[in-house]
Amino acid sequence: MSIELTAMPLLDPAQGRINAAMPEGLTLLEMVKQSFPSMSGQDQKNLRVCLVTAKGAQVIEQRFWRCTRPREGVRVIIRLIPGKSALRQILTVVISVVALAFAPTVAAYFGVTSELGVSLIAAGLNVVGLMLLNALIPVPTPDEISKKNTYSISGLQNQLRRDEPVPLVLGKHRFAPPFGAMSYTEIIGDQQYVRALFCFGYGRLKLSDFKLGETSIDDYRDVDIEVREGVDGDAPITLYPNQVLEDPTSIELTRPYPRDDAGEIIHGSTPTETPIRRYTAVDTETASIILGFPSGLFAVNGKGNLYYATVEIRIRQRLAGAVNWIDVETLKISAKERSGFFRQHTWKLPSRGRWQIEVTRLTGESTSTSRSDRSYISALQSIRPEYPVNFDKPLALVAMRIRATYQLNGALDNFNAVVERYAPVWTGTGWSDGLSRNPASSYVQALTGPSNPYPVPVGEIDWDMIGRWYEFCATKGLKYDNVHGSSETLADMLLKICAAGRATPRHDGLKWGVVVDRPDDLIVDHINPRNSAEFTWSRQYFNPPHAFRVKFFDETNGYQEAERIIPWPGYTGDITLTEALNLPGKTDPDEIWIEGRRRMYELMHRPDVFTATQDGAIRVATRGDTIMGSFDVLERSQVAARVVDVTGDSIVLDEEVLIEADKPYAIRFRTFAPGDTIGQSVVRDVVASPGETSVLRLPAGESGPQVGDLVHFGVKATESIALKVKGVEAGENFSSILNMVAAAPEIEALVDAETTPEWSGRVGGVLIPAAPPPPPSAPEFTMIATGINGTGNADHIRVLVAPVSGSTAVVSKLRIEHRLGGGSTWTAIEVPVADGGALIDNYSNGDAVDLRALAISEDGQQGPYTPVVQVLIGSSDPIIPGFMPTSSIVIRGALGYAAVTVAISSVNPPSQIQLYRAPSGTALDKVQHAVGEPFTVTASTTAVYIDGDGTRVNLLEDGDFTLATAWTAGPNWTLSGGSATHSAGSADNLSQPVNLVAGQDYRIALTVSGRTAGSITPQLSGGLVVAGNAVVSDGLALDRLTAASGNNTFELVASTDFDGTVDDVVIFMETPESIPAGLYDYYLEPQTLGGFLEVIPGPLSAPVTTQIK
């Protein structure tokens, strides 16, 4: 058990208060010595000790301190009263209080000399209690709220907020932080990346659940992120290591041709140089130019094929104010790209400073529609080597590098995250550092943290009081979650934080604490006409609204902005009259309800404001204290009268009082000792006959008032009323004006009994129509296409259907039905209305098909059918070219090429033919094996097409040995009958001089027959001999040799045992266009131009096998 004690060591009872819990059983003298350890016994006479309960107050003389032991439930009030040595006593007491300020638990956590940092331009919302005038905890008004701009209000959008306060996040919230530096672009290949730096504010913060808008950052590709929580020793950010100032210019680079008055290019003119000049930022070390090609960079030939295009751009530089230009680089940018892209060039400047950059396009204006090469200066970047953050307090930072190409639409300005504050957390026995949403933690953080330009030393915090408040907030589920991002005073910030915990800030001259609006059984003082004057009473009459509207950021729905309607207690009708209530720092919809209802109960149970004036020397109560008030106007049955006569147990009053039957009555009066200006307050029962009387009788044996004493008379239980001191104002002649409201402990009970309705966040109710909604109207066919010309397939039907106006029904699906013309059974296809139609592939070219459709609403109602429409598949198709038999095709393989000859029929003739060449025996791949572009043909003609290099000829004379005069033969060779035969017995050669070019490749072919043994080898001689592969079997032999310097003779070298015949010997120079030697299968595909696919293919021919030498 303990006794609550309040010591007031200064002349102002609100300053320097000491609240303590003393062990039960101590005497008052022992309590005085513990509270004022430096005060001598002689000086203790300047103290007044009063015992206070809800029933009364009793001043105890100093001579009784040593033998008076207060019991549980009695509060001890010790106050220093004015006297001759008052100033000396005040100084002594202050020194004593400061010495006791550092509790061991606080010192263990913070350290006696520790500081939590400085430097925040305070930010937030002014708090003016206009709406709840009588509330102990003021409420910010809507007008004041709207004047402030928070990061959440801006719609989760990042801003570059120059000269604005560094954000201070308290509790937990999702918000889009301001940029810590300007974002900039970098180009890697053709891909655009963005680098950005975001400042979440003073650390330490836990950052999680990163998003761009509503999309998780995990759903993006090529993203790098660095996170710093904002603690001492954080490593520098590496993704944004330098200062980069980007100037987005978007100026087109041109080199136009001169034009005449009609706007036509002057014939024979040359394009005009048009340089673009811009300046870097001051003190720039490195410059970077980003060039954009928004329409791509490419050229197109007559057949629509894409080719590379090139643009030359010159960059020059000169120091600001200089005359001569310095060449930097001439860029030759080539691409074959239809989509827009960027290129970047970065270089180090000769010296740091402000440089003028000139960019000039050297490629003339394109006058051809087959070329796209428009170019722009998209940005000029000025780069300094210094770190971009120059701040002396740890900041929570996030740096990001993300690929913008095909991912970001516009600027990177909607980055956001969930942020949680590390702050002092009360464990029940001490303080530690942790994640906290408790208003008490935010209060301490705001006072002692780096955001405060003048941080409060830890010794100036009433840690015991803040700990009790922390426990109160935790018990009641009170939280504070807010982002302070605009200029505000520290007082405004503390008011907002405290309001979230049902408190107001308080500084007693020595320490920071709070005044909590909660029931308090301990009575500090009694206020009555005897010790006060100029009593006033006022009431705010109002007609309550049907409900409060509270806007907040809903933590249960991703911190989206929401509004909760809180009906007035007892109101059950339609809500048509509402008023806005602002609850800063609240994001929990359940807490919004509870705190909104609490404000309503305050309006209901604290309608009155009481004021009274007390002399400064006798005032004990201060803001937040609970006192008992007794005033004539408090209740009609209460009367203040003066005693005019005392006879035994009877007293006579100077005015009559009304006695009602069956009601208990009592009087309160004070007795005064010499020098005591307050006296002792006692309550005595009184007895009298019903009716009006001025004579009252006290119980036998009890002391009563003396003649001249002032007494309060009234019904016993209501003789005094509990009040809360709302504030204390300075009056004249050192007096104090007390502003009071009803203590109303029932408010807390009503709030605790509240049951929070389920919260969904939905606005409005579901409409229940008086009658079922109408079905949708019949849709309409917007397009029906068939066959090759309409779908690209000879047997397909493509149907497009759209809903029509005329019905309020919301269409969700379309049903398309089809059948063979004249049939009886329909086949149905249901598709989402967004598809807009369907593809039907159940029929063949030339079939007649019936079609109809209907719409289906979202509630499943089916509308009427459209009229039946019949179509003929392929009715508008062009003629498909006919099959080409191999009898109409001749393909002759030759020296690195093939000559294709084809007879074009007059029946279903093609307009062009696509040739395919595949290695013999390989399955045809139309993409891989296509030979060039299709060649044009005409009906009833013979077309010839050369595949490969048709200019190649045999460098040998008489390769078929018809004349046998060009060859030089060894003794075992016989040339006759159009061939050359070698008999076994000796190794010798068959040769012929040829013109060869050193380093060139030559292809060789020969046919061997009749061989039973030995080999024959082709080679090049004269100079270094280049030998080919030995031929050891009959048949066609192919080889490839590279001529060496001096080679001028072709030879066939027969081994001693070779006994075969050689014929059709070939050697020719290979070119890049020559087809590689080998056996190939050729296919011909007839094609017709026109239709859905532009090219309509006919059936492939059978393969024609051909040998290429």
In order, the DSSP letters of 835-898 are G-EEEE-SS-TT-EEEEEEEEEETTS-B-PPPPPEEEETTTTPPPPPPP--GGGEEEEE-SSEE
What is the structure's pLDDT at 107? 28
Task: Give yes or no for residue 850 having a pLDDT over 80.
Answer: yes
Tell whether the model's pLDDT for residue 144 goes beyond 50: no
* Confidence check: pLDDT of 1083 > 90: yes
Residue 100 is predicted with a pLDDT of: 32
Supply angle C-alpha 389, 391, 394, rounded to 5.
100
pLDDT > 70: percent of the chain: 89
Q: Which residue has the higher pLDDT, 36 or 803?
A: 803
Instruction: Look at residue 334 and tell me whether its pLDDT is greater than 80.
Output: yes
Summarised one tens digit per residue, pLDDT across range 583-625 is 999 999 999 999 999 999 999 998 888 888 888 666 778 888 8
Q: pLDDT by residue (tens digit) across 81-118?
A: 765 444 434 433 433 333 333 323 222 222 222 222 22
Does 764 have pLDDT greater than 80?
no
> Residue 768's pLDDT is what?
77
Q: What is the CATH number of domain 246-262+269-384?
A: 2.60.120.680
Task: Report, as an integer, the average pLDDT of 224-243.
Answer: 94
To the nearest 10°, the Cα dihedral for 500, 506, 511, 512? 20
| For residue 63, pLDDT beyond 70 | yes
| pTM to 2 decimal places | 0.69
Q: Is residue 353 packed enough to be buried (19+ CB in 10 Å), middle (13-18) or exposed (0-12)?
A: middle
Quote the pLDDT of residue 316.
97
Distances from the Cα of 797 to the Cα of 785, 812, 838, 880, angstroms: 6, 23, 8, 18
Whether the per-residue pLDDT at 150 is higher than 70: the answer is: no
Q: Which residue has better confidence, 103 or 1031?
A: 1031
- Are 1090 and 878 in contact by the 8 Å Cβ rule? The answer is yes
Q: Which of 731-735, 755-759, 852-856 is predicted with the least confidence, judged by mean pLDDT?
A: 731-735
**Mean predicted lDDT score pLDDT of the chain:** 86
Tokens coding 238: 């590496």
The DSSP bridge partners found for residue 80 are 47
Average pLDDT over residues 894-923: 94
Contact 206, 435 (CB under 8 A): yes
Per-residue pLDDT at 878: 79
More confident residue, 231 or 965: 231
pLDDT digits (tens, 9 = 90+) for 112-134: 222 222 222 222 222 223 344 45
Peptide bond preceding 174 in cis form (omega within 30 of 0): no
pLDDT for residue 1091: 58
Residue 143 has pLDDT above 50, yes or no: no
Fold match between 2-100 and 886-951+1079-1108?
A: no
Rounded to an integer, what distance in angstroms lies between the CA atom of residue 242 and that of residue 442?
34
Instruction: Please state which of the ranges 221-235, 713-727, 1058-1072 shows the lowest mean pLDDT.
Output: 713-727
- How far apart (Å, rounded) are the C-alpha atoms in residues 760 and 1101? 70
Give which of 183, 173, 131, 128 is closest to 150, Cα–Cα. 173
Q: What is the pLDDT of residue 92?
A: 37
Q: Would you tell me how many other CB atoms lie within 10 Å of the CB of residue 964?
A: 16
Superfamily of domain 968-1070: Galactose-binding domain-like (2.60.120.260)
Least confident piece of the model among 303-312, 324-333, 828-837, 925-934 = 303-312
CATH of domain 780-872: 2.60.40.10
Q: Name the CATH architecture for the domain at 2-100.
A: Roll (3.10)
Would strands 47-53 and 172-175 be described as parallel, antiparallel, or unpaired?
unpaired
- Residue 617 has a pLDDT of 62
Helix (H, G, I), strand (E, B) or coil at 627: strand
In this prediction, residue 1086 carries a pLDDT of 94
pLDDT, residue 147, reads: 40
Instruction: Read off the pLDDT band of 682 (50, 70, 90).
Output: low
Choose from 704-713, 726-735, 967-976 the range with maximum mean pLDDT.
967-976
Alpha helices (runs of H) in 501-623, residue ranges in sequence order:
589-605
Q: Encoding tokens for residue 324?
A: 């001569």
Q: Is-contact 383 244, C-beta < 8 A?
A: yes
**Residue 151 above 50 pLDDT?**
no
Residue 342 pLDDT more than 90? yes
DSSP secondary structure, 260-318, as one string: -TTSPBPTT--PPPB-EEEEPPTTEEEEEEEEEETT-BEEE-TTS-EE-EEEEEEEEEE
| pLDDT of 951 higher than 80 | yes
Evaluate if residue 813 carries a pLDDT over 90: yes
CATH classification (class only), 886-951+1079-1108? mainly beta
Q: Which letter does DSSP use for residue 461 in this model? A: B
As given in the structure block, the two tokens for residue 757 are 């309705």
Looking only at Cα atoms, what is the longest distance across the chain?
Answer: 176
Q: Which helix (H) or strand (E) holds 744?
A: none
Predicted pLDDT at 676? 54
State pLDDT tens for residues 411-469. Answer: 888 999 999 999 999 999 999 999 999 999 999 999 999 999 899 999 999 999 999 99
Strand order in the sheet with 547-554: 560-567, 547-554, 578-580
**Residue 359 phi, psi dihedral angles, 5° rounding:** -120, 125
Give the span between the Cα atoms of 815 and 838, in whole angstroms: 10
Residue 1067 has pLDDT above 90, yes or no: yes
Bridge-based pairing state of the strands 482-484 and 431-435: unpaired
Distance CA 361, CA 371 (A): 16
Grade residue 74 by pLDDT with cuts at 50, 70 and 90.
confident
pLDDT at 91: 38
**Residue of 943, 915, 909 whose CA lies nearest to 1085:** 915
Q: Is the pLDDT of residue 140 over 70?
A: no
Contact, 842 vs 835, CB < 8 A?
A: no
Q: What percent of the chain has pLDDT over 90?
A: 58
pLDDT band at 829 (very low <50, low <70, confident <90, very high): very high
State mean pLDDT over 898-907. 93
Domain ranges of the chain: 2-100, 168-241+390-418, 246-262+269-384, 542-606, 780-872, 886-951+1079-1108, 968-1070
| pLDDT above 70 (res 27) | yes
Distance of CA 795 to the CA centre of its chain: 50
